[in-house]
Amino acid sequence: MTLFLSRRTYDASKSKFTNNPAQLTRYVRITQGPDAAGKWQGGIIDQKDWLDCVDAEGDTDEVLIFVHGFNNDQFDVLSRFDKIKNGLKQNGYRGACIAFDWPSGGNVFAYDSDKRNAKATARCLVQDAIIPLTERAPGRKINLLAHSMGAYLTLRAISDFDDTATSGAGAWSLNEIMFVSGDADARWFGRGAWASLLLAHRSARFTNYFSQLDETLNLPAVIGNGLRKRVGRAGMPPVVDAHHIDVYSHEQYLKDVPSKNQTSAYSHQWWFDNAKFYKDLALTLAGQNAHQMPTRQPMNTSDLALLS
Q: Which of the pair, 223 or 279, is modelled with greater confidence?
A: 279
- Per-residue pLDDT tens over the stretch 127-139: 999 999 999 998 8
Which amino acid appears at position 121 of this protein? Answer: T
pLDDT (mean) for 262-289: 98
Instruction: Answer yes or no: is pLDDT of 161 > 90.
Output: yes
pLDDT at 35 > cutoff 80: no
- Find the helix or strand (DSSP H, E) in which 273 lies: none
Q: How many other C-beta atoms are found inside a 10 Å radius of the C-beta of residue 289?
A: 7
Contacts 24+ apart (CB under 8 A), 262-271: 262/213, 263/215, 264/215, 264/216, 264/219, 265/216, 267/211, 267/213, 267/214, 267/215, 267/216, 268/148, 268/181, 268/214, 268/215, 268/216, 268/217, 269/181, 271/147, 271/180, 271/181, 271/209
Torsion angle of C-alpha atoms 179, 77, 25, 182, degrees rounded to 10 = 20
Does 257 have pLDDT greater than 80? yes
pLDDT recorded at residue 49: 98
Question: How confident is the model at residue 302, as a pLDDT?
Answer: 81
φ, ψ (nearest 5 deg) of residue 301: -120, -170
Q: What is the mean pLDDT of residues 219-248?
A: 88
Residue 230: DSSP 8-state: B
What is residue 224's predicted lDDT score, i.e. its pLDDT?
Answer: 67
Report the candidate in 196, 211, 193, 192 with the shortest Cα–Cα distance to residue 303. 211
pLDDT at 294: 97
**pLDDT tier for residue 106 given thresholds of 50, 70 and 90:** confident
Q: Which of 202, 190, 204 is nearest to 161 (CA)?
A: 202
Confidence of residue 107 (pLDDT cuts 50, 70, 90): confident
Q: Which amino acid is at 54?
A: V
More confident residue, 228 or 195: 195
Amino acid 240: pLDDT: 97
pLDDT bracket for residue 167 (50, 70, 90): confident
Find the mean pLDDT for residues 103-127: 94
Q: How confident is the model at residue 210 (pLDDT cuts 50, 70, 90)?
A: very high
What is d(CA 138, CA 44) in angstroms, rounded to the nearest whole number? 25
Lowest mean pLDDT of 61-65, 163-167, 259-263, 287-291, name the range: 163-167
Total Cβ atoms within 10 A of residue 37: 8
- Mean model confidence pLDDT for the chain: 94
Minimal CA–CA distance to 174: which of 162, 160, 158, 195?
Answer: 158
Residue 40 is predicted with a pLDDT of: 75
Mean local confidence (pLDDT), 292-308: 93
Region 202-217 average pLDDT: 97
105 band by pLDDT with thresholds 50, 70 and 90:
confident
pLDDT above 90 (res 57): yes
Q: Helix, strand, coil shares of the chain as percentages rounded to 5?
A: 35, 25, 35
Residue 225 predicted with pLDDT over 60: no
Identity of the amino acid at 139: G
Predicted structure pTM score: 0.96
Strand order in the sheet with 203-210: 41-45, 16-32, 2-11, 96-101, 62-67, 141-147, 174-180, 203-210, 244-248, 304-306, 296-298
β strands within 102-232, DSSP E? 141-147, 174-180, 203-210
Reference 248, options 275, 279, 213, 282; nearest CA is: 213
Each domain of the chain, given as residue ranges in start order, spans: 2-306
For β-strands 304-306 and 203-210, DSSP reports them as unpaired
E-strand spans in the chain?
2-11, 16-32, 41-45, 62-67, 96-101, 141-147, 174-180, 203-210, 244-248, 296-298, 304-306
Of residues 40 and 73, more confidence is placed in 73
Domain 2-306 in this protein, CATH class: alpha beta
pLDDT score of 38 more than 90: no
Q: How many angstroms separate the CA atoms of 7 and 21, rounded?
A: 6
Give residue 169's pLDDT band: very low, low, confident or very high (50, 70, 90): low
**CB-CB contact of 124 with 7 (8 Å):** yes
Q: How far apart are CA 58 and CA 16, in angstroms?
A: 27
Rg (CA), the chain: 18
